[in-house]
Amino acid sequence: MKLRRIVGVALAAILTLTTFTACGGSKADGGGGKLPDATYELDSTKAAWEIDDSKDNKLTWYVNAEWWNKKYGEDFVTKQVKKDLNLDIEFIVGDDTKLNTYFASGDIPDIVTIFDPNMEVARTADKWAYSLQDLADKYDPYFYEVAREDTLNWYKLGNGKTYGYPNYSNTAEDYDSGQVPARDCFIIRQDVQDAIGPQDFTTPDGFVKGMQAIKTQFPDLIPFGFNDFSGATSSLGNVVQDMLGVAITTDDDKYYDRNLDEDYLTWLSAFRQVHSDGNISDDSFTDDSNAFKEKVASGQYATIMMGSNVNNGNSLQTWLAENPDKEYIAVDAIQSTKGKKPTLSQAGISGWMINYISNTTKNPAKAIQVFTYLLSDYGEILTNFGIEGETFTREGDTITWTPEAAEVQSGNPEEWQLDYRIGEFITFGHDRFKALNQASYVKAVWQQQEWGQQYLTPQFKVENIAPDPGTAEARALTAITTNWNTTLVGLIRAKDDAEFDKMVEDYKAFLEDNSIKEINAIRDANIAKNLKKLGK
């Protein structure tokens, strides 16, 4: 379900935004004019939605994704949202074309949710959206109690105000809390590990030998699998680099090309040998995500370099349920030849879905109340677990499903998703609340999450550092990325070390021919900006 990035808006988006700002005003705070006074008395110790007794409130909410569930007020979760906020919401979904149409007309929905902070829409939010600080000061000062200061600072524009707020925005505090689950790991079937005995998967030579040992005893299995390449470099790119603890910047905080790291190339050479030995299936380079998940669910891989186990949780759980003594477990593997520890990543501070309030809304007070409500502990508990006593019980910081809810969750996933909608209304979701109930995740990933917890490391300073969409450097970077994706597959399938080395040199030459110096200069400048946002 997850849509990691929406393609950046190009020239047409810039033109539509220009059209909108021309007809929408030019005030520094978005041109929406003077905000009307609140109809209730403000109380900084209490959320405004608990004070505001207005009725017949309506908002339109555009989500830039066709898959978003547009229903509202019918399922268990949004029925309660509607009741608490005295609010009807009309959800509208679409793609970039539909989004641009709204901006061209100037008739923008009250709330807008996008997925890419690099979009022109996000970069120019001060022209069409209200700042969250202004709305909070005017209507709901309790917003500051539930919003994360680090996240607000991260999304500030040049005028010092914040216009968008994301879901799943992890701060350094979240990483340190132990409540953000690890998602990447090297896993092996328990029965395979038991059968082959002690193997050293942590070194390149040991890894090659271990894969051969698997092939000898389990000739019908694929010794080494990895996520499908429909996600660009599969789990053999950043995931392996994170396992090796490859640096994300140089010591002086300049961009570091992880693809050309010596440690990483050593391991790619080992993967080349594994493929040469017949222990990587060529189908793995062409399988789509469904084919990969089907093979996980049927246990066809002996080992997997697993990127995002939660996204593959249903497949892992299917295998575990049918083969309880053959579950996939995380083990130490693919470690640095330089002695570095893994630096596993998770969702960063940029989050995923980014929510804005347009300055054309006729009900800005209720709009900011929605943000406060969904960001609050109450709203997060509701959207993640439902209502205490009905769908869950709580003892301290531990939440447990009621027997009735547990039965629906495990026995009727479709009813759980559509009728209950628990864990699905995620526009302001956050992992730290899911951590209150281990059963928020399938049992198949529990051990894997625990294994990786110690290695989680923020990579905030290199988020969103690519050149602006539509620029010559952005086009050059797209060409470089495409070339690397092809090169990576070629390196693993190379017939010998000489061909491997030549491909690496060809890639380096491609970088030089495609403006890599100019691209890296932009990256360096953006890293510096990120460090400033982080207060470093």
Contact between 351 and 151 under an 8 Å Cβ cutoff? The reply is yes
- Give the whole-angstrom CA distance, residue 401 versus residue 95: 36
For residue 377, how many C-alpha atoms fall within 13 Å in the half-sphere facing its CB?
A: 5
- Tell me the average pLDDT across 377-398: 96
The reported pLDDT for the residue numbered 8 is: 35
Does the residue 462 lie in any domain? no
Is 136 in the same domain as 201? Answer: no
Q: Are 166 and 229 found together in one domain?
A: no
pLDDT of residue 434: 87
| Average pLDDT of the segment spanning 454-482 | 95
- Give residue-wise pLDDT tens across range 130-168: 999 999 999 999 999 999 999 999 999 999 999 999 999
Closest by CA to 111, choosing from 80, 86, 87, is 87
Q: Tell me what the mean pLDDT of segment 53-80 comes to.
A: 96
In a domain, 454, yes or no: no
Residue where one domain finishes, among candidates 292, 325, 343? 343
Q: Mean pLDDT, to the nearest integer, of 416-435?
A: 92
Q: Does position 1 have pLDDT exceeding 50, yes or no?
A: no
Same domain, 325 and 378: no
Q: Look at residue 25 and give its three-state secondary structure.
A: coil
Write out pLDDT tens, residues 231-242. Answer: 667 999 999 999
Query: What is the pLDDT, as a whole number, of residue 527?
Result: 98
Is 161 inside any structural domain? yes
Q: What is the pLDDT of residue 188?
A: 98
433 falls within a domain? no
Query: pLDDT tens digits for 264-280?
Result: 999 999 999 999 999 99
Distance, CA of 281 to CA of 221 (rounded, Å): 10
Q: Does residue 19 share a domain with residue 124?
A: yes
Confidence of residue 32 (pLDDT cuts 50, 70, 90): low
Examine the domain organization and report whether 233 and 299 are in the same domain: yes
Over residues 418-433, the mean pLDDT reads 93
Domain boundary among the residues 285, 308, 343 is at 343
pLDDT-derived band at 178, boundaries 50, 70, 90: confident
User: Is the pLDDT score of 15 beyond 50?
Assistant: no
Domain shared by 269 and 365, yes or no: no
Answer yes or no: is pLDDT of 177 > 80: yes
Q: How far apart are CA 334 and CA 361, in angstroms?
A: 52
Q: What's the pLDDT at 442? A: 87
Residue 11 confidence (pLDDT): 32
Say yes or no: 383 and 321 in one domain. no
| Domain stop point among 343, 370, 403 | 343
CATH number assigned to the domain comprising residue 93: 3.40.190.10
Q: Are residues 209 and 332 in the same domain?
A: yes
Print the domain residue range for 265.
185-343
pLDDT tens for 365-377 read: 999 999 999 999 9
Residue 447 inside a domain? The answer is no
Whether residues 215 and 334 fall in one domain = yes
Question: Does the residue 438 lie in any domain?
Answer: no
Average pLDDT in the 435-461 region? Answer: 93
Of residues 180 and 368, more confidence is placed in 368
Lowest-pLDDT range of 85-94, 157-166, 438-447: 438-447
Q: How many domains does the chain have?
A: 3
Residue 437 lies in a domain: no
242 and 377 in a common domain: no
What's the confidence (pLDDT) of residue 29? Answer: 44
| pLDDT bracket for residue 536 (50, 70, 90) | confident
Residue that wins the pLDDT comparison between 194 and 27: 194
pLDDT of residue 504: 98
Q: Where are the alpha helices (DSSP H) in 427-515?
A: 431-434, 446-452, 472-493, 497-513
pLDDT surpasses 80 at 30: no
Asked if 499 and 410 sit in the same domain, the reply is no
Of 72-86, 307-321, 481-495, least confident by mean pLDDT is: 307-321
**Based on the domain organization, do 335 and 355 belong to the same domain?**
no
Give me the percent of the chain exceeding a pLDDT of 90: 85
Instruction: Reduce the secondary structure of 286-305 to three states and give it as a string.
Output: CCCHHHHHHHHHCCCEEEEE
Does 261 fall in a domain? yes
